[in-house]
Amino acid sequence: HQVDRRIQNEGIARLGAFLQSSDRMLLLYSEIYMERLWTVYEVAQFVLTTRPVDEIDVMPIFLPRLVFIALPLIFFFNLGVLASRHLEVRGEFMSVIGVIF
C-alpha cells in the first residue's frame, strides 16, 4: 500500500472515521517517530477528534523488546529456584545454575 497512491489517498480519507471510532491510541515511540509526517498527522487527527491527550498511551519502542527478553529469563530463574528447593528438601541440593544448565 505504500507505493499505490490511490490506496494511500483512500486510507488518508478514512483516517478520521477510524480514529473517531477509537477509544485510545497506543503510540510506540522511537527517536524517529515525530520526524515522520504520517505519524505526526495521526496523533494530530486523534487529538482533533475531540479526544483528550491523556487517552494517548506512549510506550517506548524498547520496552516490548525488553519484556520479550526478560520474561523467559525470569521464568528460567524461577524454575531453577523451585527445582533447587525441591532437591534441597530431598537432601540432594544442587545449585540453581547446575539445574538450569
The pLDDT assigned to 54 comes to 84
How many C-beta neighbours within 10 Å does residue 46 have?
A: 22
The pLDDT assigned to 59 comes to 83
96 sits in which H/E element: helix 96-100
Q: What is the DSSP string of 4-24?
A: -HHHHHHHHHHHHHHHHT-S-
The pLDDT assigned to 100 comes to 54
The cell for 74 is 525470569
The pLDDT assigned to 26 comes to 87
- Residue 39 in contact with residue 33, Cβ under 8 Å? yes
The cell for 65 is 523488546
The pLDDT assigned to 12 comes to 80
Residue ranges, the chain, pLDDT below 50: 96
